[in-house]
A and B are shown apart, each in its own frame.
Chain A
Amino acid sequence: MRLLDLIFNGNDLVYERVEKAVNEAVEKYGADKAVAFPDTAYSLPSYYCMTGNKVGNLGELKDALGVVKSMMTRNQRLHDGFQSGWATLLCAEFYEVLKYIDGAKPYEAPYTGHLSDAYVREQGVPLVTGDIPGVAVIIGPAPTAEQGAALVKSYQGQGMLVAMIGGIIDQCVEQGVKTGTNVRILPLGDDILSVAHVISVAVRAALIFGNITPGDAKGLNEYTMKRVFAFVNAFAPLDNVTLACGAGAIAMGFPAITNDYPFSVPKSLIVQPDVDKWNATSLEARDIKIKITKIDIPVAFASAFEGEIIRRGDMQIEYDGSRVDCFELVQTKEASEIEDHKIEIIGPDIADMPVGSKQSIAYIVQVAGKNMQSDFEPVIERKFHSYLNCVEGMMHTGQRDMIRVRVSKDTFNAGFGLKHLGEVLYARVKSEFAAVVDKCQVLIYTEPEQCTKLRHEVAIPTFDKRDERLNTLTDESVDVYYSCIMCQAFSPSHVCVVTPERLGLCGAVSWLDAKATNELDPQGPCQVITKERPIDERIGEYEDVNEAVRKFSQGALDDVSLYSIIEKPMTSCGCFECICGIEPLSNGVCIANREYAGMTPIGMTFPELASMTGGGVQTPGFMGHGKHFIASKKFMKAEGGIERIVWMPKDLKEQVAERLNATAKELYGIDNFTDMIGDETVAEDPESLLAFLEEKGHPALSMEPMM
């Protein structure tokens, strides 16, 4: 027999049973007899929401049964299976409402039966917020009472709402599991048809919280699929009636997990023989993420500890990447390769090391997620610095394979071990990157030989690959740019357009950062900007970019170019790392960085330049930018590029020399370009600068006039 036929059969069995019960009731009480669930304004909630019709008495109930019959089509198509599933759930609701005739109280403790509107509202709020991460509906007896109780408790520990039907209830009672609405464990009833009561909760949640119009069956299924994180755990043997109810649940978007069944349907009917794994299987199937509210470590965790310095004399241990092999790394893995919250320490722990010694460490955080991209790895990794520094008595500096981590004696004596380092990373990554990380495990290596091997075979190749990716990431190779309006609080009309080759002018937001920010916070400051309609490739002007800038500046700015300092230059908020300004005498530009306190050949200091450039206004001839942008091939490309740079402070020149020289070599074949660029030791006025440039044969002198 095919799966669909089994569902149809289950549906038929329930229909017959309910039809008989309704007929008997009509015979006994007459068609005018009122039927209603107590404490609800939604009549028979599931039927009302599916059809838009309320049922008030037995006669109407009998008519409703006719409507349900019409849903029970028997074509060999998925749709018929879902409709029959829903028909089964509606029949269950009819059957249950008969029990409440004359204000009867059909359910006695521990059973709850029907749940009131007030309860739905009360539990609905935490369901909407995710404080209740999901709803588990458990049907039938587990293979052993211990397993059943353990499963229920595992869900309870995660803050879920658990609804139980049938044998599992007795097992929980036997194992002494507390049940009731106050502990969010609901023994609905003994009969499978009591499933109607939990379906009714989901339906009323859609009516109350989803503003679903009664009768909008499609909207209902969509809402429950997207917003009600419920799933079914049904223990074998699965009879056809349970299966038919399950088909209804699947129609609502709730996957069913069972331990033994000849059929399975990907993502919908999942067979997991090992009941101990049901929790993880269910959460993954329904895409439920558990909020982590507390980090399990023996010392405090707060940003107050971020700047804490641990002196040599106070340290229990030091992991020092400048002396021995150390590294930190985020790796993207397949979900099946990761056991969530596994923290494994391979090698000796802090306690096994001499006090005050210098040791090797390598911690690898492996993550998996449907929305995870390897581009986010460095974004996550860069946060480790802040995470570990927030631990009381822990200091972290550097990144990649140049890290240094110190743990204080006090923190060690409080019971801190490497496991806790893993806990911190796990908890922070899972909560801060919940949008992209579904599963996370931490591996911590401390054997020196292993750290050396992993550093050279795993870490360094990964870092090299990332650098290569960054180098090959050009404005032309991507489909979208990002806006950044983080600074609008104080610079209301400024919008940064972040491209791979032009990072935000603050130097803190690269294209990858902006991309990750957008993914993590879709309504946040970084929004996608398409670049499909170029106006002028030379200055980097696009219709779509202009539209975005207009929108995000609330109409203050009409158009910007990405690569020109003279034509429609990008605005600045005030956070710029550097300011670049035209120096007319030498036909080039001078760059001053924020740290530079002296005079520039333009005749203005950095603060004076800043007052010209900031505030979200376009000032042709002046441009704020990040340090990293100086070596970009897109640096004022429209005016000839980096060849125009004639002056920058010595410190800044040293910081950018390597990359700038490489770009100059590549673009113009000039060796040691920075030697041709003046600095404050050469000149602080245009005339002496010009003399210096002439002596060096600076290319800007022979270029076309900028203005």
Chain B
Amino acid sequence: MPFTAKSGKFNAKINAVSIGTGDKAITIGGENVLPFYTFDDAIENPPKVGIEITDGGVENEPECIQKCYEGCASVVDMAKKAVTFEGVDFLSIRLEGGDPNGKNKSTEELIQLVKDVAAAVDVPLVVCGCKNVEKDAELLDKASSALEGKNAVVLAAKEENYKTIGASAGLAYKQVVGAESAVDINLAKQLNVLLTQLGVKGQSIVMNVGTASAGYGFEYVVSTMDRVKAAALSQSDATLQMPIITPVASEVWNVKEAAASEADMPEWGNQEERGIDMEIETAAAVLAAGSNAVILRHPESIKTISTMIKALV
């Protein structure tokens, strides 16, 4: 009897969400199969890779990344350089200096920076907040206004501030709203429901379902993503069909495997290699678990992950 392969494609599919404008615009999602299951059906939009810079500029980067930005005098210079690295599909600027418990930079200063960066590059943009929910509500509201017409991703609205960020980014200024929850399918779903009840269209939402560096409770991340994709595809749960975007860099470069210097940990070997390895491992795993986009920091990791995606899709 001849073997007939049965396709595992689903009737439901992940929403296709476009980010950015013009020639460089990208689309994530749209697939009706499990991650990288191209043998079940074609995946029209391969996962995308973004590069992260922060308002802190070159000094804020790990030493091994600083050298990639040699000669960059400002954050805007960095942004221009960042988008030239191989494999970069979009640029993410993280406004971590806004944190009231950190540098507490003013909203005006950071928004001016966002405007300057937006003017300097033509790739799609992601704006990330500082992780303080009150400050993010203010920052990302203003960022949505400043980026009007850019179709940027605003990362992210959380349960505590989804109304402000959802109304601003999703309704008033028509950006793509990032919905961030903490590694729990129900919380992810609840936030999507709340945002859509607010009036934000499901097609303008992308999820950050939470992440961790590989080895740091990472199995929770993977199982959450697995379950989200399973519910979205096999159960046609429209409240979970938003594509997933995962900021990997901000987790990975803080763990000791990436941060400890070779002087402190000679037996661990070269620090840069370790950092790149951690970033690649984490990114590859979240992509395999269902992320439609990852945000990384080291040009070498970006190149590798981008090559991997091209080889698989």
Contact = CB atoms under 8 A, between A and B. Distances in A.
Contact of B171 (A128, A485, A523, A524): A128
B186 A124 contact: no
Contacts of B187: 489
B136 to A, nearest CB: 13
A524 B190 contact: yes
Contact-residue size bin, chain B (C-beta under 8 Å from the other chain): 20 to 34
A398 B141 CA distance: 44
Contacts of A492: 185, 223, 227
A125 B141 contact: yes
A153 interface: no
A128 B235 CA distance: 32
Interface stretch (B19-27, B83-91, B160-168, B292-300): B160-168
A131 interface: yes
Interface stretch (B191-199, B261-269, B273-281): B191-199
A409 to B, nearest CB: 32
Given A125-B167, A131-B164, A492-B185, 6 more contacts: A209-B167, A209-B172, A485-B186, A489-B187, A492-B227, A523-B190
Contacts, number: 57
Interface string B193-220: 1100111010000000000000000000
Contact of A489 (B186, B198, B201): B186
Contacts of A554: 185, 227, 230-231, 235
A209 B195 CA distance: 12
B45 interface: no
Contacts of A124: 167, 171-172
A208 B174 CA distance: 9
A547 to B, nearest CB: 13
A208 B194 CA distance: 18
Contact of A209 (B141, B199, B234, B235): B199
B185 A209 contact: no
10 contacts: A128-B171, A128-B199, A129-B167, A488-B185, A488-B186, A489-B184, A489-B186, A523-B197, A554-B185, A554-B230
B33 interface: no
B199 A210 contact: yes
A394 B67 CA distance: 56
A524 to B, nearest CB: 7
Interface string A332-353: 0000000000000000000000
Contacts of B164: 125-126, 129, 131
B173 interface: yes
Interface centre among B172, B194, B198, B223, by most chain A C-beta atoms within 10 angstroms, is B172
A584 interface: no
Nearest to A212: B199
A489 B141 CA distance: 30
A492 B193 CA distance: 19
Contacts of A128: 163, 167, 171, 198-199
Given A121-B145, A125-B141, A128-B163, A488 B184 contact: yes
B289 to A, nearest CB: 14
B258 interface: no
A211 interface: yes
Interface string A114-156: 0000000110111011110000000000000000000000000
A219 to B, nearest CB: 12
Contacts of A555: 234-235
Interface string B225-236: 001001100110
B183 interface: yes
Interface residues of A, number: 22
B124 to A, nearest CB: 22
A235 B235 CA distance: 57
Interface string A196-226: 0000000000001111000000000000000
A554 B185 CA distance: 10
B311 to A, nearest CB: 32
A525 B186 contact: yes
Interface in A462-493: 485, 488-489, 492
Nearest to A227: B199
- What are the 4 A-B residue pairs with the smallest beta carbon separation, nearest first? A129-B163, A128-B167, A121-B172, A489-B184
A525 to B, nearest CB: 7
B270 to A, nearest CB: 37
Nearest to B192: A523
B194 A523 contact: yes
A488 B223 CA distance: 12
Contacts of B194: 523
A210 B187 CA distance: 24
B235 to A, nearest CB: 6
Interface in A494-525: 523-525
A211 B201 CA distance: 9
A486 to B, nearest CB: 9
Contacts of B193: 523
Interface in A352-408: none
A130 B199 CA distance: 15
B173 A121 contact: yes
A216 to B, nearest CB: 14
Contacts of A489: 183-184, 186-187
Contacts of B168: 125
Nearest to A556: B227
Nearest to A130: B163
Contacts of B145: 121-122
Interface string A681-693: 0000000000000
Nearest to B171: A209
A124 B183 CA distance: 31
A122 B173 CA distance: 10
Nearest to B234: A555
A332 B184 CA distance: 37
Nearest to A521: B190
A485 B227 CA distance: 15
A507 B52 CA distance: 46
B119 to A, nearest CB: 20
A485 B185 CA distance: 11
A132 B199 CA distance: 18
Contacts of B197: 523
A488 B184 CA distance: 8
